[in-house]
Amino acid sequence: MAKNKIQTVAAGLALLLALSACGGAATGTEATDIPKTQNTRDISEGVQPDAQAVALLPESYKAKGELTVAMDLSSPPMTFLAEDNSTPIGVNPDLARLVAKKLGLKLKFENTAFDTIIPGIDGGRFDFTATTMSATEERLKVMDMINYLKGGSAVAVPKGNPLNLTNDTLCGRNIGVTKGSTQQLKHLPNVSKWTCEEKGQPAINAITLPNVQEALTQLDSKRIDGVFYDASGLAWADAQQPDHFFILEPRMKNRTNTNVAMGLKKGSPLTPALQAAIQAVLESPEYKESLEYWGLGESAISEAAIR
């Protein structure tokens, strides 16, 4: 494909991920027809601190009065920038704002590439992350992780599924994954092992790409056969431009825990307070309000368990 055509496709896909259908309930108390990507209202407005969480907060954080959260703001509907190109919106920004309010603190966002978040947490650059990250053995060596959502993965293929692919027939195919994601690090290798390699078939060929926009661009240009990514992100992209690609059903069975967790430096004195704040958020009406608004009502959990 010529370079200018690739650039055109990339621009089109960037646009489809930026656009949103109108309608539905806003992250407030009244219905609205503001497109989701323009709705910058802070869901935590008016939310009061949680006494138990505040009591567990180390004095150094109380004195500073602010938490820094790292997020990769490139994955709608979970974590992305509004059309003003400056306001973080989506499920994760909503919930991070609520957590900060439960702790009585201000929140500072740091837009960070996914695969650099953990080194930044370990190095003390960020207080915590809320970026649709699941707990793995490797991550748990350097971070405390606290569950806040149920996740899930799916595979997108080109429109019409010309290769007639299923979750069980990806052997030898070029499947895009995003750098540093659980799909790259854990799920795709596992799926390849039990659906292909253990049956004497060629392994799934993982094509690592920097973000989901690039992955969908390469899928659109037929440079890869599929994209293995968070089901919520693929559903969002599909809703913005129906008939552009096809999402395989059912979701991929990973044979692993699908909860996603907020993370902070292992053994951090902030961990008990953050857990209490997350638990308070899970019990709040705003939690379910945010999930329903972003189309993730089935992702709610009830216990902020530390991993």
Max CA distance (Å), the chain: 60
Q: What is the DSSP letter of 294?
A: T
* CA 22 to chain CA centroid, nearest Å: 22
- Residue 31 forms beta bridges with which residues? 25
Residue in the structure block whose two tokens are 């692993």: 256
Which parts of the chain have pLDDT scores under 50?
1-31
Q: How far apart are CA 278 and CA 99, in angstroms?
A: 6
- pLDDT, one tens digit per residue, over 183-219 is 998 889 999 999 999 999 999 999 999 988 899 999 9
Given this model, what pLDDT does residue 240 score?
79
pLDDT of residue 170: 97
Q: What pLDDT is recorded for position 272?
A: 98
